[in-house]
Amino acid sequence: MARFTDKSVIVTGAAQGIGAVYAQALAAEGARVVVADIDGERGAEVAKQITADGGTAVFHTADVADPESGAAVAEFTVKEFGGIDHLVNNAAIYGSMKLDLLLTVPWDYYKTFMGVNLDGALNMTRAVWQHMSAGGGGSIVNQSSNAAWLYSGFYGVAKAGINSLTQQLAHELGGSNIRVNAIAPGPTDTEATRTKVPGSIVDLMVQQMAIKRLGTPEDLVGACLYLLSDDAKWVTGQVLTVDGGQVFRP
């Protein structure tokens, strides 16, 4: 399939894990991908590998918590590829996340965390939407989590915020022919999860699932490509849960 031939896509947090897999899958379907990440070494390597595999990708550094950095990524993409068609807001603090309570987490850390995990998606959307509109529209996918419906402290607060942001932006941008949706993964087997979550907790989570295994980044690709593509041209403001049946929700 080549649903994204000649389409330009920015994927934030694409230097590793789920973001890297999204970038690779989009390039495999013809997209011209900007690998955007604060980790320059890993990000450049992902772009290099995509190119070696026959795709089109370039790296640009991005601190999604900084509006000026987001604007720079957008301007670079327009200069490099002539426009912006799609955005995947995947960047987040997770593997290095502090484990603390909402009641006790240091305030400066909380603000930094939210600046990336919640405000970052808004910063990037604000940076790209006019470019998308000028090109006739586009689509955005935000990375949420089923943690939005489970006890998970400030991480869950950020993801619940992503869900609401998705719905609000879908209405604000619908008139510009820009769709905004989100994916809410369950526990996924990434380096970050292996670093952050003890094995005993992982085992407990797996037992709560209908499909009793951790997800993989590849399990999420189909949802991401669907929501970005014209296959979902009348789908906006939705949060698609991909979690092996861990949570039930309306």
Per the residue annotation, which of 22, 94, 109, 155 is the catalytic one? Answer: 155
Rounded Cα distance between 55 and 28, Å, is: 6
| Strands annotated E in the chain | 8-12, 32-37, 56-61, 86-89, 138-143, 178-185, 239-242
DSSP summary character for residue 146: G
155 is catalytic: yes
Residue 201 CA from chain centroid, whole number: 24
Rounded Cα distance between 81 and 3, Å, is: 17
Residue 209 in tokens: 């699932």
Q: How far is CA 171 from CA 37, 74, 143, in A?
A: 28, 22, 18
Cβ contact 238:181 at 8 Å = yes
Residues belonging to the active site: 155
